[in-house]
Amino acid sequence: MTKIKTIPDGIRSTTLFLILITPAFTNLMEHAGSSIMVLLTLIGIYAFIQQGRIEYIISEKVIMGVFVLYFIFSLMMILAHNFLDGVSIFKLHIDHEIRMLTIIPIYYLFVQSRLAKGTIWYSVLAGAVASGLYALFAAISIDFSDRIIGPYNPCLFGYFSVALAFMSLSGYHFFYKMNKKLVLLPLFGFACGLLAAFFSGTRGSVITIPFLTLIFIFQIRQHLKSFNAKIVISAMAAIFVFLLFLFPHLYLAERFEKGIDEARDFIKNHERVNYIGEYEAHHLRMWMEAAIIIKDHPFFGVGPKGYRQIVTNRVNTGQIAPGIEIFDEPHNFYLNMWTSYGIAGLMILLAFFLTPLAVLIHAIRTAGDDDGSRDMAWCGVYLITGYMLFSLTGTLFNRNMLITFYLVMLAAILSVYRPAAPRAIE
């Protein structure tokens, strides 16, 4: 016999509060993301003990399965490489991989809590605004002479802020339906998020802005005949013009100029042995070394520590210039998975991104406009595609804060547009 159970108000209120603070706290406070993830996981396990199982549809099972597969695959490959390298199989560093499993109790908790879409819109809006204001005041304090670091480093702060900017923007119709003037809120969040990214001086995050803007064009097409669409488009144009005029006065402009010069120098001279050591272009150099490793070890990879060992050996033997041996991975998540675990590692990573993305795209095509489910699915699309783009210049899931945000927000977004309410099973 099936019995519907209601989650206690105290648990639901705590869950809503944690969701509301997740983006802002994760991007601005060290270790806040990990603390929130632990709390949500423990509450989710407690809720499961109290409430019992629920019925999941096939898409939910597939997504959860991909996260479990990512963990199992990484664990098996780490054990295999430890054994082959003569390292004790008990010396495992799988903290990041274990975190992937927390999506199961967290998603369960969100489903049982019956999250409202407004909770997520206010959450990402607060995160974008908080990031922008923090970056502005921090930049003023240093007279705009350097990069804004955030709680960890400027790259993470920049990536995170761009994602929040577009996730906040995707809620423009939600706020407009409440009050036409409230459409200014997501636009303000969008401006704050982009401003934070510019002040961070992170080239990789800024380069993704045109691609995410293109995605937004597809989203706003459904509202082109509405007055609010004209406001949104005009405001976005004004924001981009402002940032364009601001760009030459920021440290970001200097970093772009330096990066272009180094890349041009590297492309022209990387094969000249007597030129070794004269260029930097660290990202291009690391990617080239990763390509060499992939050519030699395409199927099984060299393990999580193999990239740095091989690069260090090539530096010590004078084959390449020093400088990149200090990095543990090639600063590209796709190349990192391929060099570490072979072609299967790359396929696992792509499935990790593309499986929930496919579910959200299906929701966009089939969901109605009245309840805001389509816009919520777009919010998830920005989250996933943002991470896919950021992964081209970074190894995101080696960072706890980015793992936390991805898991928590993806679980929250997927939970609010479930096609049917779950049934508790005794």
Residue 411 lies in a domain: yes
Between the CA atoms of 34, 37, 39 and 40, what dihedral angle is there, to the nearest 10 degrees? 170
Span 8-24, pLDDT tens digits: 889 999 999 999 999 99
Residue 318: pLDDT over 70 = yes
The domain containing residue 50 runs over which residues?
9-249+344-425
Alpha-carbon span 426 to 4, nearest angstrom: 9
198 domain residue, yes or no: yes
Domain presence at residue 3: no
What percentage of the chain exceeds 70 in pLDDT? Answer: 92
- Domain presence at residue 120: yes
Query: Given this model, what pLDDT does residue 89 score?
Result: 55
> How far is residue 84's CA from residue 130's CA, in Å, rounded to a whole number?
47
pLDDT at 202: 92
For residue 273, give the amino acid letter: V
Q: Is residue 81 part of a domain?
A: yes
Across 355-368, average pLDDT:
88
Number of domains in the chain: 1
Asked if the structure places residue 209 within a domain, the reply is: yes
Nearest-angstrom CA–CA distance, 328 and 330: 7
Please answer whether residues 162 and 193 qualify as being in contact, where contact means their C-beta atoms are separated by less than 8 angstroms.
yes
> What does pTM read for this prediction?
0.93
Return contacts of 265-269, CB within 8 angstroms, 24+ apart: none
> Per residue in 379-404, pLDDT tens?
999 999 999 999 998 877 777 888 99
Within 10 angstroms of residue 39's Cβ, the number of other Cβ atoms is 14
**Per residue in 321-348, pLDDT tens?**
888 888 889 999 999 999 999 999 999 9
Residue 51 lies in a domain: yes
Domain contains 365? yes
